[in-house]
Every structure is written in structure tokens, then in C-alpha cells.
Amino acid sequence: MSQFEVFAPAKVNLALHVTGQREDGYHLLDSLVAFAPVGDMLQLSPAESLSLKVTGPESRGVPEGPENLVLKAAALYGPGPGAAIHLDKCLPAASGIGGGSSDAAAALRGMAALRDVALASGAAVVKLGADVPMCLDPRPARTEGIGEELTPVALPPLPAVLVNPRVEVSTPAVFKALASKTNPAMEPIPAFVEAADCIAWLARQRNDLQPPAVALAPVIAEVLAALSALPGCKLARMSGSGATCFGLFESDAAAEAAQAQLAAAQPGWWSAHGALGDQAAKAAPRLR
Ligand SMILES: C[C@](O)(CO)[C@H](O)COP(=O)(O)OP(=O)(O)OC[C@H]1O[C@@H](n2ccc(N)nc2=O)[C@H](O)[C@@H]1O
Ligand SMILES: Nc1ncnc2c1ncn2[C@@H]1O[C@H](COP(=O)(O)OP(=O)(O)OP(=O)(O)O)[C@@H](O)[C@H]1O
């Protein structure tokens, strides 16, 4: 049987409006998500049973036991051929860019390829995490519901810098700290031609989780200020429930130079650069 390699791209919420709350406590969201060319990498090899090894620069504190979302995802396919899974962690955990969720989605894609069966879908996938459905098909989308209702959106590539100050932020705590849970939805999404049109539209939207996250982890405000001060930064905002923030730039070269300047000024922070957009092709399982 074959071995597969599956890329798990970072998920970035370009805007995230909280529009309500369900009976079960989950919040209703209206978000525009895009995916970065930076992420984790999974390798799946046929084996008797499921096992996981975690390595990589961001592996510290990431569990290798059954609580890892990769094993929870792989187990969704039920009894049958197992897999020895190697996860190379490059995204900081609990950081607002869907690290574990994207890993879970990559595990679902990889196991389906390994067993040559249909990709898992439906409620069991949402149960893994609200971000998992959008990460299953990592291309720009408007996400509604709790994050499982997806409408594809055509976006121009958005040159970006991602920055995390290495402070873990609890997603539930941020939602809990929201001042209001019923806020206006995003504006209708037009057909963007240039990145500049998309950035101008984004500037009129929000991340409603940003104020409570900044209150819980004030360093996020420093990250936003540092991004905004970089040459060519057109928009700086937190992604998801944080602490990772993104800056959008007028060109790939400007984003690359900005990330180098920021990394020199803040060597203790995690940062990366790349164009946000459609990573579906890059994230497809590849035979090794
Ligand atoms: C903030 C986002 O990352 C934006 O994409 C997601 O909404 C969170 O997705 P996630 O990390 O996969 O969230 P889950 O692991 O499913 O839920 C973690 C906790 O966040 C809260 N949560 C999550 C999603 C949501 N729509 N409403 C919530 O209130 C709940 O307390 C939940 O128990
Ligand atoms: N594959 C994984 N990668 C990272 N963390 C994981 C993984 N599986 C389980 N976890 C646990 O989940 C916790 C949340 O991390 P995770 O990366 O899922 O947050 P996240 O997906 O970045 O969420 P958000 O984008 O909403 O912040 C971590 O603290 C870690 O203990």
C-alpha cells in the first residue's frame, strides 16, 4: 500500500463577525476565510493500527495521544487498515490559525486516500471542531453557522505576514468574554478584481473576537501595532480567536521584506509570509 503526504495550511479569518448564539452555547459566525502557503505537514504510512509521532519547531506541548485531533480524525473511518502518522508541526498551537483543525482535516484527506474510500463529511466532522469543515477544502470561503456552512468566494491572492507572539489563547475564553454576541453580519461580498479592492472592503469589516482577545492577552495589541507600522502594510487584524495576527501588503516583495524586518525586531515571535488564498491543490494528498 502507498504512503501519502498531506499539507495542512494555516486558516486565516480575514474578517469574523459574531452574529448570535445557539442554544448549545456555540456562537453563530459570519467570516471570510483564506488559507496560507505555510502550515503543518502529515505523512501517513500503512500500519496495523493508528499511531502518531509529532516533531517540528512548534511540536512542544502538542499531545501524541488520542487527544490529538489528528488521531480523533483518523478514527472517524472506523475499523480497518491503520496508519502510522507523522505530524511535522510548523504552526503554533492554540493560535487562531486553525493549527489542530487543519491537521484534523489533513488527516481526514490522508486516511481517505490511504484506504481509497470517500472523504468523511457531515456532523462527525463538525464534532471534531468548528474549523474542520472549512479546512477540508482549503480555499477562500464565506463561513456561516458555527463555521460549517461554506460558500466559496473568488479572492485575488493577498500578500500577507502572519505573526504570533507565542502566547496561547483559549478559544472558549475569548468567546465567553465577548461584550455582545449579536453583531451585524459582514457586508455582501462583491466580485473583487484587485487585492486593493478586497483590502478596502475588509477595512470596513471586523473581527469581533479581537477586543476580548486583546483584553485577555494585551500583547496582541503590540503585535497589531508592530504590523501596522511595517512599510506597505495596508491592514492589520487578528485571525480567529488569536493570538496570531495578519498584515496585508501591496505586494509579495513588500510582505517578504516586512516579515524579515519584524523577525529581526521581535526574534521571540513566530512569523511567516505568503499570499493568502486557495491552497486546495497544495493540500491534496500526494503519493510519497
Ligand atoms: C474562532 C474560530 O477559529 C474561527 O474560525 C472558530 O470559531 C473556532 O473553531 P475551533 O477552534 O475548531 O472551535 P472548537 O474546537 O469547535 O470549539 C472550541 C470552543 O470554542 C467555542 N466556540 C467555537 C466555535 C463557535 N462557532 N462558537 C463557539 O462558542 C465553544 O466554547 C467551543 O467549545
Ligand atoms: N494537531 C494538533 N496541533 C496542535 N494542537 C493540538 C492538536 N491536536 C490537539 N491539540 C490541542 O488542541 C489545543 C488547541 O490547539 P489548536 O491548534 O487546535 O488551536 P487552533 O486550531 O489554532 O484553534 P484556533 O484557530 O481556533 O485558535 C492545543 O493546545 C493542543 O493541546
User: What does the DSSP assignment read for 125-191?
Assistant: HHHH-TTHHHHHS-S-EEEETTTTEEEE-----EEEEEEE-S----HHHHHHT-S-S--PPPPP---
131 counts as catalytic: yes
Express each pLDDT in 215-273 by its tens digit. Answer: 999 999 999 999 999 999 999 999 999 999 999 999 999 999 999 999 999 999 999 99
Q: Per-residue confidence at 2, pLDDT binned at 50, 70, 90? A: confident
Instruction: Mention every residue, 6+ apart, whose C-beta is less than 8 A from residue 67.
Output: none
Handedness of CA 111, 84, 72, 30 (dihedral sign): negative
User: What does the DSSP assignment read for 75-97?
Assistant: HTT-SS-EEEEEEE--SPSSSSS
pLDDT score, position 234: 98
Q: Which of 11, 30, 40, 103 is catalytic?
A: 11
Domain boundaries of the chain, sorted by first residue: 4-151, 154-276
Express each pLDDT in 64-123 by its tens digit. Answer: 999 999 999 999 999 999 999 999 999 998 899 988 999 999 999 999 999 999 999 999
**Which class does domain 154-276 fall in?**
alpha beta
- Would you list which residues are annotated within the binding site for ATP? 92-102
- The C-alpha atoms of residue 170 and residue 166 are separated, in whole angstroms, by 13
- The C-alpha atoms of residue 93 and residue 98 are separated, in whole angstroms, by 8
> What is the three-class DSSP state of 224?
helix
Q: Is the pTM of this model over 0.80?
A: yes
User: Over 90: is that where the pLDDT of 213 sits?
Assistant: yes
Q: Check if 242 has its Cβ closer than 6 Å to any atom of ligand 1.
A: no
Q: Where are the beta strands (DSSP E) in 217-269?
A: 233-238, 245-249
Q: Check if 146 has its Cβ closer than 6 Å to any atom of ligand 1.
A: yes
Express each pLDDT in 167-209 by its tens digit. Answer: 999 999 999 999 999 999 999 999 999 999 999 999 999 999 9
CB-based contact 76:120 (threshold 8 Å): yes
Specify the residue with its C-alpha closest to ligand 1, atom 16.
129
pLDDT score, position 270: 97
pLDDT score, position 178: 97
- The C-alpha atoms of residue 93 and residue 70 are separated, in whole angstroms, by 13
Beta strands 82-88 and 51-55: pairing type? Answer: parallel
Specify the residue with its C-alpha closest to ligand 2, atom 14.
94
CB-based contact 174:260 (threshold 8 Å): no
How much distance in Å is there from the Cα of 153 to the middle of ligand 2?
26
Q: Which of 238, 239, 241, 199 is nearest to 222 (CA)?
A: 238
Report the 10 Å Cβ neighbour count for 132: 28
How much distance in Å is there from the Cα of 45 to the middle of ligand 2?
23
For the record, the C-alpha cell of 287 comes out as 503519493
pLDDT score, position 1: 65
Express each pLDDT in 115-159 by its tens digit. Answer: 999 999 999 999 999 999 999 999 999 999 999 999 999 999 999
pLDDT score, position 278: 97
According to CATH, what is the number of the domain 4-151? 3.30.230.10
Instruction: Give me the mean pLDDT over the 9-25 stretch.
Output: 97
Q: Which of 30, 40, 103, 131 is catalytic?
A: 131
User: Which of 171, 186, 238 to mutate for ligand 1's pocket (most ligand atoms within 8 Å of CB)?
Assistant: 171
Q: Could you report the predicted ipTM of this complex, rounded to two decimals? A: 0.94
